[in-house]
Structure 1
Amino acid sequence: MTSIAAAEKAELSNQDYAVVADIGGTNARFCRINLNTFELDHIQVFPCADFPTLTDVMVAYREQQKVPLVHVAIAIACPVDSDSIHMTNHHWQFSIRGVRKAMGLKTFIVLNDFAAAAMSLVTLEAHELTQIGGGDIERGAPKAVVGAGTGLGVGHLITLSNGDVMPLPGEGGHVDWAPTTEKEWAVHRFIENRYGRVSAERVLSGPGLETLYLALADYHGRNVSPLSAAKIGQRALSGIDTLALETVNVFFASLGSFAGNLALTLNTRGGVYIAGGVVPKLLRMMVTSEFRARFEHKGRFCKVAEAIPCFVITAEYAGLRGVGQYLKQTLQQRGA
């Protein structure tokens, strides 16, 4: 847990409240957060497609919620490595300094969305996590977080010697997808013919679920109409569509392999955490899928993988809390 000096616990020098946002390729989630208690209020979700720019949606939030924008931090679904931000799965582009000046903000922090997801891990309670196999977490050990939504996000969290935590954002969702069965190789060829390169995100995301449905139909020689990820999930859960059921099962099997690779990459004995909008809706199917078997299927390192627990994050606004945690830690470090 982030260390906090006693004086800072009592008061944050008029910085008790801030506005935070979690911006993906589809939705922009805003709220006001109390940086002492991490309680959220004035929550509002905006479709990104309804606004030409980031500042337009920030103005809409301020005017509709009557909340002043002073200290603001946003998590966004793209690399954050310079002042110039270009979203990966949406058209918004902006300058961090430019937005701060245009909106008259005292503080404006931008971080990668899975840096925020990683920071959220220290705010979660036991009832907001569903464990999928493995043993107990090792305190202080690295953690990994992966989430399927509009894209596929990946991040890590490490604990520093002073007790603070540091998120390690990355673009692991864009690594090459690794098929392991004959069926998955057929899926790989289908996607390669359509897009050229087959990244993990092409399969392990909402749009990936839609592509996987079509790829499996092609594998079976069936002609089907495209379905949305939501429809595929609904039809799989109801059991009325065997192709949708197969699609979700292949999705979870491949996600298990991917998550297991993450676990070995940084030896994440602190756990692998599944975030994003896709998995929680299909949690019942995940439990009975090949997810955990594929997670642990790591040859000579099976025993290592078997010990590492996986958790599905079921908290509705974990990303917003992660942004707040990062903002609080940043303000405290500046004050120090």
Structure 2
Amino acid sequence: MSLTLDSGQALKFPILVGDIGGTNARFAILIDAFADPKTFPVAQTADYATLDDAIQACVLDKTSLQPKSAVLAVAGPIDGNEIDLTNCPWVVRPRAMLETLGLDEIIVLNDFEAQALAVSSLPETSRRKIGGGTPHEGASRVVVGPGTGLGVAGLVRARKMWIPVAGEGGHIDLGPRTERDRAIWPHLKTIEGRVSAEQVLCGRGLVNLYEAICRADGIEPVRVDPAEITEAAMTPGDPQSAEAVQLFSTYLGRVAGDLALIFMARGGVYIAGGIFQRLLPMVKPEALRQAFEDKAPHAALLQGIPLYVITEPLAALTGLATFARSPRFFGIETTGRRWTVSA
């Protein structure tokens, strides 16, 4: 086996694309460059011992199609032939997968690179605009998504290519701004004394925020998971759950505004992930937008940058499929991230 370094080389169809998160794994097969991806039911990572088992049971056992290539996006750093997922016990072993799954080649990307690829061509019908702002054609874009963790990626345009820029932006500091924040912050669970954005803006972060609100109010928390908090927020009688949802939105708006400044994202900031899609009917869009723009001395700059919520549930798969069809249109470095079977 040898590593192929040419990022512009065409992939062989059919192509398996997979978005592997900490909780869920989503798969589709791209038959050719013109067909829509054939999707499969979402797999729960906890239900399978390995990624290979999940692909076999959820994809290969469900179709007569045999993929020749795979493009996988994983929630974790890609730093060798064994890739540990950040919030899941799976270990991705691409060289072994070539043999066990009968593939000719595999490309492994960061999960938020896939989200960034998606916003390169996301249609109006797959996003909801929050507030004003006008996107600039070809300008930088940012995607941020609360899920099992908090993912962040940028997308920049250069040399007629879109270039995704992945990192660990979810681990930036998140600090208090208001008196209410300052009452809540001492009760938040920290990492070595630090409150990162991911400590609040993800599934477990919503629980962390809810528990801190309860303790700031002098009451014992009774909700134990994000779904329970979300459901309670929709009914009268639980102001702590309702406040947790609203503050989650406000803090996400603040972080999104920070990222807009970092990337000068005049092409727009995109909020991805299923968690915020579920919260969207409950949050106040004007409060989200206000938090996004509240960046003195650059409030006027933020007012001109559009903010979107991605409403397409399989956006990452769409992004991977877009890349798989025409890799040459994207500036993705595949050195150390592409495995092939030698001819």
| TM-score (norm: length of structure 1) | 0.89
Alignment of 1:157-176 (within 5 A): 157-161=155-159, 163-176=160-173
Q: Secondary structure at the match of 1:215?
A: helix
For the structure 1 residues 245 and 328, does the alpha-carbon distance in structure 2 shift closer, same or farther, using more than 3 Å as the test?
A: same
CA RMSD in angstroms, aligned pairs only: 2.3
Partners of 2:216 and 2:113 in 1: CA distance: 37
**Residue among 84, 87, 90 paired with 2:88:** 90
What are the ranges of 5 or more consecutive residues in structure 2 without an aligned counterpart?
1-8, 335-343
**Residue identity matched to 1:274:** I
Using the TM superposition, name which of 58-67 and 309-318 deviates more.
Answer: 58-67
Partners of 2:128 and 2:42 in 1: CA distance: 25
For the structure 1 residues 164 and 193, does the alpha-carbon distance in structure 2 shift closer, same or farther, using more than 3 Å as the test?
A: closer
Query: What's the CA shift for 1:75?
Result: 0.8
Aligned residue for 1:283? 280
**Residue identity matched to 1:309:** P
Query: What's the CA shift for 1:34?
Result: 4.4
Q: Determine whether 1:21 maps to 2:27.
A: no
Alignment of 1:125-274 (within 5 A): 125-161=123-159, 163-192=160-189, 196-274=193-271
Partners of 1:224 and 1:194 in 2: CA distance: 21
Paired-residue identity, %: 36
Using the TM superposition, name which of 130-139 and 100-109 deviates more.
Answer: 100-109
Query: What's the CA shift for 1:215?
Result: 0.7
**Residue among 96, 101, 104 paired with 1:103:** 101
Q: Secondary structure at the match of 2:282?
A: helix
Question: In the TM superposition, what whole-angstrom CA distance separates every residue of 1:130-149 from its partner, at most 9, and x where no partner exists?
Answer: 00013110000000000011
Using the TM superposition, name which of 237-246 and 297-306 deviates more.
Answer: 237-246
Aligned residue for 1:64? 62
Partners of 2:264 and 2:329 in 1: CA distance: 30
**Residue identity matched to 1:105:** L
Q: Secondary structure at the match of 1:238?
A: coil
| TM-score (norm: length of structure 2) | 0.87
Judge conservation of contact 2:18–2:317 (CA < 8 Å) in 1: yes
Q: Secondary structure at the match of 2:22?
A: coil
Q: Secondary structure at the match of 2:120?
A: helix
Partners of 1:309 and 1:69 in 2: CA distance: 38
Partners of 1:31 and 1:103 in 2: CA distance: 15
Partners of 1:243 and 1:124 in 2: CA distance: 35
Partners of 1:328 and 1:122 in 2: CA distance: 14
For the structure 1 residues 42 and 274, does the alpha-carbon distance in structure 2 shift closer, same or farther, using more than 3 Å as the test?
A: closer
Using the TM superposition, name which of 109-118 and 48-57 deviates more.
Answer: 48-57
Judge conservation of contact 1:132–1:287 (CA < 8 Å) in 2: no
Taking CA–CA contacts closer than 8 Å with sequence separation of 6 or more, which of the two structures ends up with the larger relative contact order? Answer: 2
Judge conservation of contact 2:116–2:142 (CA < 8 Å) in 1: yes
Judge conservation of contact 2:18–2:28 (CA < 8 Å) in 1: yes
Question: In the TM superposition, what whole-angstrom CA distance separates every residue of 1:82-127 from its partner, at most 9, and x where no partner exists?
Answer: 3331111111123332322432311211100100000011232111
